[in-house]
Structure 1
Amino acid sequence: MSLTMWGALLGATTAAGLLLVAARLRVVRRPQLADRVLPYLRDLPQAGRPAAGPKLEGGSSVVVAVFGPVLRSLAQSVERVLGGATSVRRRLARAGIDRSVHEFRVEQVQWGLVAFSLAAAWGLLRTLGDPGAVVSSALVCAIAFVVGVLARDNHLSAQVRTRERRILAEFPTVAELLALAVAAGESPVGALDRVVSRSGGELSADLARVLAQVRTGEPVGSAFDTLAATSGLPLVSRFAQGIATAVERGTPLADVLHAQAADVREAGRRELIESAARREVLMMVPVVFLVLPVTIIFAFWPGVVGLDLTTP
């Protein structure tokens, strides 16, 4: 196919896409029936609120509104192929991301489409120079889409690990603050309110959710049991279970919190020692394979040159 034909094909495709977007924008900008009727049926302040078009979970942009049905169908296909909705839901909760599994699948599709677009652009340039590379370019585009979908899943796991490291770093300080507040005469709920209002971080956000559950009428022990069940860290689970047990049985809560903070500090110290031991082994790699050979060369090379010069 000549360059003229390729140009005509690309121009026609671009024109069709622009016409599709313009037609969809007219539909999106048209006031919906609900937006015109609901202000007269509900006693809510609706004045000045812009007309909202079709929305997709997790976004309200025009692009999402235009391509929403396609993204939804692709997200459902990804869910059927990959599965694991329970694992995804648990990891979203552990990462502190307020999204549903379907919204996460839509994000996976978006990542895959971005990777597909990059691979398609590369394949188009490659096909212009070698028309026989169409099949291999299509295969690369399909692989790029799969890699983009899986990359979003790996990124979620990385977000979980990052948040859990932050929680472990914040835990001793938060536990000590709770212990000091309880020892000063505060109730468990009052101590929790004081610490949450004066601290910020991932663990403080979890404790704020626990405090919100307590204020809505849920027992303190039950709220901390929920935190222990949803947390992916054994230390935080033991901490929540210890507080729930102390509240239910009336045991000294300050001693429990001090012990929990000491356990976390000891665990962090052990992890640091283990990490240092692993780094010590890794540090031998450049010494053995880089520094030692260079030292040997500098030590023996002058002698080798001298032997060559004095050999008859």
Structure 2
Amino acid sequence: MSAGVVGMLIGLMAAVGFVLVLTFAPPFRSVRLVDRLAPYVHDTPPPSRLLGTATEAGLLTAVRRIFGPVVGDGARLVDRVLGGRAAVRRRLDALGGEAGVEDFRIEQVIWGGLGLLGAAVLATVGSLVSGGLNVLSAGLLCVAGLVGGVLGRDWWLTQQVAKREELLLAEFPVVAELLALAVTAGESPAAAIARVTRLSGGELARELGSALGRARAGVPLTEALQQVADRTSLDPLARFIDGLLVAIERGTPLAEVLRAQAADVREAGKRRLLEAGGRKEIAMMIPVVFLILPVTVLFALFPGLISIVSLAQ
């Protein structure tokens, strides 16, 4: 790497840092409405951590405290470029967490920064190995790392939602049958939900437990269960919640409905296993046809080919 290229990179980094310092300095940064109202709203002293009621701590909080304005502007830029707040909100609700869209956008900015850092390190190692630096290739690699990190967080959220839905479907038959047994024994739907959530674990039990907690906090049980149905994209679980709501509101028999729904989910699980087996069987044909079969044919024809060549000579 020549001295001119090194000087150009150092000067570019210094210029970018100087522009960032000027842009986000308090005298030049525009004052937001939140900053104007903060001294008059946040006047309550923070609670003690010993009481277990302190605010959230973790990577997001540390990043916000250190790089607050930069990360906030980056999150707003990502949200404006990508859009789809409704889809992100729906997937976050399906994941069952308490994070908001703003927190997710901040995580995307962090992932993008890590991708940019990894691409920069890779470009630096490549330039040291090759003995020269291609500015265009390094710039494209850094942009690819940045975009890949931002989009990779979105892809990972989709994978988390899909994995959680698989867990919900796997737990649904057992929870439905336990509820059916509790209702058959004479308990009310609310008492049956409380018993099942107390005796079992898993994602579905936690969902029902959170709904029951909201109901005990003052929200009507039907509304709390409807919120669970609205957050999920699984049709069996939505029908299950609808059956519970009908039983609670109208007093209709619930045990047989729950057993039928559990049986339907088990049959659907069997069909999914058969479909997955069919796809794996087709995928197994690829190494058989393109690897094992050519080697077998080669072993079968090679002695005859050698004999023909020896006779021709």
Q: CA contact under 8 A between 1:114 and 1:148: conserved in structure 2?
A: yes
- 1:166 alignment partner, SS class: helix
- 1:185 alignment partner, SS class: coil
Distance 1:222 1:8 in 2: 59
**Partner of 2:142 in structure 1?**
141
Task: Give aligned-pair identity as a percent.
Answer: 44
Distance 1:268 1:66 in 2: 48
Q: CA contact under 8 A between 2:89 and 2:101: conserved in structure 1?
A: yes
Q: CA contact under 8 A between 1:56 and 1:64: conserved in structure 2?
A: no
Distance 1:130 1:72 in 2: 36
1:258 deviation in Å? 0.5
Distance 2:78 2:187 in 1: 50
**Partner of 2:91 in structure 1?**
91
Task: Report the AA paired with residue 78 of structure 1.
Answer: V
**Partner of 1:107 in structure 2?**
107
Residues 39-54 of structure 1 mapped to structure 2, 5 A cutoff:
none
Alignment gaps of 5+ in structure 2: 22-38
Does structure 1 residue 231 correspond to structure 2 residue 232?
yes
Task: Report the AA paired with residue 130 of structure 1.
Answer: G
Q: CA contact under 8 A between 2:60 and 2:107: conserved in structure 1?
A: no
**Partner of 2:269 in structure 1?**
268
Pair 1:38–1:286, CA change in 2 (3 A): closer
1:212 deviation in Å? 1.4
**Partner of 1:169 in structure 2?**
170
Q: CA contact under 8 A between 1:92 and 1:99: conserved in structure 2?
A: yes
**Partner of 2:31 in structure 1?**
none
Pair 1:123–1:47, CA change in 2 (3 A): closer
Pair 1:289–1:173, CA change in 2 (3 A): same
Q: CA contact under 8 A between 2:60 and 2:103: conserved in structure 1?
A: no
Q: CA contact under 8 A between 1:224 and 1:244: conserved in structure 2?
A: yes
Pair 1:285–1:123, CA change in 2 (3 A): closer
Q: CA contact under 8 A between 1:57 and 1:103: conserved in structure 2?
A: no
Does structure 1 residue 247 correspond to structure 2 residue 266?
no
Distance 1:167 1:225 in 2: 17
1:288 deviation in Å? 1.6
**Partner of 1:211 in structure 2?**
212
Distance 1:180 1:102 in 2: 43
Task: Report the AA paired with residue 232 of structure 2.
Answer: S
Pair 1:58–1:127, CA change in 2 (3 A): closer
Task: Report the AA paired with residue 242 of structure 2.
Answer: Q
Task: Report the AA paired with residue 237 of structure 1.
Answer: A
**Partner of 1:189 in structure 2?**
190
Q: In the TM superposition, what whole-angstrom CA distance separates every residue of 1:44-91 from its partner, at most 9, and x where no partner exists?
A: 975989xx99x9997332x54121110001000111111111110110
Task: Report the AA paired with residue 117 of structure 1.
Answer: L
- 2:67 alignment partner, SS class: helix
- 1:251 alignment partner, SS class: coil
Distance 1:254 1:237 in 2: 17
Distance 1:48 1:193 in 2: 30
**Partner of 2:68 in structure 1?**
68
Tell which has more relative contact order, 1 or 2 (C-alpha 8 A, sep 6+). Answer: 2
Q: CA contact under 8 A between 2:180 and 2:256: conserved in structure 1?
A: yes
What is the aligned-residue RMSD (CA, Å)? 3.3
- 2:74 alignment partner, SS class: helix
Once the two structures are overlaid, the 10-residue window that deviates more, 300-309 or 111-120, is 300-309
Q: CA contact under 8 A between 2:197 and 2:209: conserved in structure 1?
A: yes
Q: CA contact under 8 A between 2:89 and 2:100: conserved in structure 1?
A: yes
Does structure 1 residue 130 correspond to structure 2 residue 112?
no
- 2:215 alignment partner, SS class: helix
Q: CA contact under 8 A between 1:243 and 1:256: conserved in structure 2?
A: no
- 1:154 alignment partner, SS class: helix
Q: CA contact under 8 A between 2:177 and 2:262: conserved in structure 1?
A: yes
Figure out how many residues of one structure are paired with residues of the other and give that number.
285
- 1:97 alignment partner, SS class: coil
Q: CA contact under 8 A between 1:127 and 1:134: conserved in structure 2?
A: no
**Partner of 2:32 in structure 1?**
none
Distance 2:65 2:289 in 1: 59
Pair 1:66–1:309, CA change in 2 (3 A): same
Relative to the length of structure 1, the TM-score reads 0.81
Distance 1:218 1:76 in 2: 33
**Partner of 2:299 in structure 1?**
298
**Partner of 1:26 in structure 2?**
none
1:304 deviation in Å? 2.1
Task: Report the AA paired with residue 114 of structure 1.
Answer: L
Distance 2:87 2:141 in 1: 29
Does structure 1 residue 2 correspond to structure 2 residue 31?
no
Pair 1:4–1:136, CA change in 2 (3 A): closer
